[in-house]
Structure 1
Amino acid sequence: MVSSVIWSILGFIVLIGVLVTIHEWGHYAVGRWFKVKAEVFSVGFGKPIWTRQVGETQFQLAAIPLGGYVRFLDERNGPVAVEEQHRAFNRQSVYKRFAIVAAGPAINLVFAWLLYVFIYSVGVAQPKAIFVVDNPASAVGQAMSSLTLSTQADNLEQQAWWITQIEGRDIYGWQGVSQALVQGLINQRASLNLTLSPDVTADSPQQLVYVDLPIGQLNINDFSAESLFELGWTRYLPSLPAKLDRVIAGSPAEQAGLRTGDLIERVNDDWVISWQALVAWVHANPGQSAEITYRRDGAEFNTWVQLAELNVNGERRGQLGASVYQDPELIKQYQQTQQLGLWAASLAGYEQTKALINMTLTMLKRMVLGEVSLSHLSGPISIADFSGQAIQSGWVQFLTLMALLSLSLGILNLLPVPMLDGGHLTYYVYEMIRGKPVSEGFEMAAQRVGFLMIAGLTLLAISNDLLRLSNG
């Protein structure tokens, strides 16, 4: 628990620090290009905890890591020397001011695209999206029942299928499946077209079939990681020998004398046919004692183990405290690598960025219309939790989360809400059309309304965070 909190704090600081720095650098760089004087470049709000003067700009880290700002020379903030008035922000043309303000959100969108290009260029192996039908009467079961392939098993539930595309877009892993489902739900699709292959261990599919998967039973307001499998499919996992990899210190496995490399053969004289079978038995017997027969260095040994008892979402579950050894050659058959050349990665990054922008805008529109619950809003607690999980899962997951949040930051800042960049851009558009700026009184009143809106949404997002935590 303590370590997960530390990882969450670390991940949050790194994530927000990078995204805020990129955002404010956009304002700063374009402002400097137009010769506007930047007095302060701050990452964070509140009291500075570190400062450094570089030329005419003070760079600083502040105590509250929830944003940042660039303070340009501006006559509205105080007197400006006559010889520097031409470098004040308020003295610039409306088009220059528009460009300076728009640069922050724009650089966040570009940064997200660059992250996706980098991820696609480097290429990372990940598990294929392979499933078996676990309920023939379900949406997946009914969609699959019409298939009459020679490769289809006599029992529909025994055949494994590899999802290679959804709606014509290549799918790499269950994360891609989840994104496609969410996008379909947001766009109110009744079904999605899946391209499947029974060649689950091939480098590329040799046979392809197409099914229309109805998704009407899913509700976007209740969608979660578990919802993905309410359609009637289950992740396919290759059968693994019950050979131990890591044994957790202080666990029942260590107390029973089990070590890395031990192959568990029997439990209470019942043969263990796979790691999955062992896990099923462990989960079903919390707190129970059993005799385990295992093989080590060619010799057979016996030991007694008393399983620990966990409470997982209100369900009692046993725990042994060891992970399984995964043969790299076996696992490789069930993985795929998405590695593209620079041009192809650039196009793929663009398509991913475009898809996520469209999905975000549609989601926001439906929230405003009351068609989607505001419970989907996430605040700093959830972001910290996601950051901690991502940074522990690997750099690809962390950069993917960073790209998604960079997109969100860019889009949200472009909304025409006072106090946000989009609010200022709205004023500038008005000024371009009317030839004069909005009145100072109107802008001050709008700022107060904008503050109340942002404060209210922030409190709502934090409430959602706390509710998620309380619900596990």
Structure 2
Amino acid sequence: MTILWSIAGFIVAMGLLVAIHEWGHYIVARAFNIKVTHFSLGFGKVFYRRQMGETQFQLSVLPLGGYVRFVDEREGPVAEEDLPRAFNRQSVYRRFAVVAAGPLVNLVFAWLVFSLIYFSGITGLKPVFETVPPQTPLAKSLPKNDQAWQVLSVDDQEVLDWRAVYQQVLQALVKGKPDIVVGLQSMDGAESKTVVLTMAELDINQPKQDWLSALGFAPKYPEIRPVISRVVEGSPAEKMGLQSGDWVRRIDGQPIETWSQLVEYVRKHPGKEVELLVDRNGRAEFARGVLAQREAANGPIGTLGAAVKMDAEALSAYRVTVSYGPLASLEKGWRHTVDLVEMTLDMIKGMLIGSVSVTNLSGPVSIAEFSGKAMQSGWVAFLSLLGLLSLSLGILNLLPIPVLDGGHLFFYVIEMIKGAPVKESIEAGAQKVGLMLILGLTFFALFNDVVRISNG
């Protein structure tokens, strides 16, 4: 079932984003009266086509891209009456506009998606913590922590939930900042603090590292009954035979009253065999199995692979929902888009100079997995992923790599400067190099996907 969700999510996400990208090329070409012969989503064998006016719209079997084909003398013979509408006969400025429209529409779409999310309302968990793990940067700033605190800002940026805190930490890591400035307020409102936390122990190249835990944040959650709502496919919980609705009463003989107690015990026993006593519809059932493990900041931690059944009433005090008006949403969406563009460019720069590992590259398998999970999580999660992918697609296509839109734009800039087109032989050679580079990056990203999946 998970695979089906991933396939469906990938097809829907990539189909929509590619359609938006190619529509950008198409609509600007039509505005300049350039003849468009084909509008294709996908590559390879065509399984659906429809002629609409002078353009054939079609779907092909490989949903990994698309293209818009113009009348062009470099591609073949052109009818006499179509010569004024041929792409190669347009001014360099018109050709530049047509090619740039695709990635720019992707960036605008990302901005509008993020703005829509801010307008509809963002729901998350307040960044509240109580206990601070010892020997962490936060513990050194709060040596005596006998009360609950809420994070108000990170590096002068307001944060409303843990997701926003994580994003600010990630941005600081990508930029290579040595530390971050965190604004705190006690939950009773009586005290405020500003602390500086060192980032020395955090590693951008270790995605499994729990960066928030490494800094010392131990999120405080409401006391929720340890009732399972969902079991992850292929997890220890599934292998044990645990089911939705099971109420965990004991683990290895120890009484369990809250979900946090269960989580704490599981985390401390990676790779160990445990026995659970659960209440299943009033019957006592035993479940035995070996916990999985994953790497964290201070070593491996155990995982069970089960989600808790949330108590809406208990959670309400920790939940925050914020929505904005139309203009404020557009401003928030724009700021979020700019932040992500800057972070993406910093990541690319880091990979080029070697400070960021190329293992951070993800391929189509990861996109499919994330798309499937986002579709199951709700429309806000799926829209968030669409915005991020659209932004990434726009930036990628603007890079000055031959074969991509950015490569064409680079040659057009040279043409504007020198007053004559780049020689076709030079452009053709560059296209081959660019194609080899893109194929190499694609295969490397696929390799990363395979390694990531094989390592769990």
TM value normalised by structure 2: 0.89
Residue 340 (structure 1) aligns with? 324
Question: What are structure 1's unaligned runs of at least 5 residues?
Answer: 146-154
C-alpha distance in 1 between matches for 2:302 and 2:171: 34
Indicate the larger mover: 281-290 or 219-228: 281-290
Q: Letter of the aligned partner of 2:419 in structure 1?
A: G
C-alpha distance in 1 between matches for 2:96 and 2:237: 63
1:276-318: CA deviations, max 9, x gaps? 22455577596655666x698xxxx662423344434498969
Indicate the larger mover: 384-393 or 423-432: 384-393
C-alpha distance in 1 between matches for 2:362 and 2:448: 7
Residue 13 (structure 1) aligns with? 11
C-alpha distance in 2 between matches for 1:256 and 1:99: 59
3-state SS of paired residue (1:221): coil
Q: How many residues align?
A: 449
In structure 2, which of residues 284, 287, 291 is the aligned counterpart of residue 306 of structure 1? 287
Residue 87 (structure 2) aligns with? 89
Residue 189 (structure 1) aligns with? 177
Residue 386 (structure 1) aligns with? 370
Q: Letter of the aligned partner of 2:358 in structure 1?
A: L
Once the two structures are TM-superposed, the CA of residue 95 in structure 1 deviates from its matched residue by 0.6
Q: Is the radius of gyration larger for structure 1 or structure 2?
A: 1
Contact 1:287 1:318 in 2 (8 A): no
1:163-219: CA deviations, max 9, x gaps? 22212222233222222112111212111111222228xxxx675422111112212
Residue 151 (structure 1) aligns with? none
Matches within 5 A, 1:27-426: 27-145=25-143, 156=145, 159-199=147-187, 208-224=192-208, 226-243=210-227, 260=245, 271-280=255-264, 303-313=284-294, 324-426=308-410
Alpha-carbon spacing, 1:278–1:410, altered in 2? closer, same or farther (3 Å): closer
- Confirm whether residue 462 of structure 1 aligns to residue 446 of structure 2: yes
3-state SS of paired residue (1:448): helix
TM value normalised by structure 1: 0.86
Q: Letter of the aligned partner of 2:93 in structure 1?
A: Y
- Confirm whether residue 452 of structure 1 aligns to residue 432 of structure 2: no
Q: CA RMSD in A?
A: 3.1
3-state SS of paired residue (1:194): strand
Alpha-carbon spacing, 1:191–1:303, altered in 2? closer, same or farther (3 Å): same
3-state SS of paired residue (1:402): helix
Question: What are structure 2's unaligned runs of at least 5 residues?
Answer: none
Q: Letter of the aligned partner of 1:453 in structure 2?
A: L
C-alpha distance in 2 between matches for 1:364 and 1:163: 30
Alpha-carbon spacing, 1:55–1:280, altered in 2? closer, same or farther (3 Å): same
Residue 149 (structure 1) aligns with? none
Contact 2:248 2:277 in 1 (8 A): no
C-alpha distance in 2 between matches for 1:225 and 1:436: 52
C-alpha distance in 1 between matches for 2:79 and 2:181: 65
Contact 1:118 1:345 in 2 (8 A): yes
% identity of equivalent residues: 44
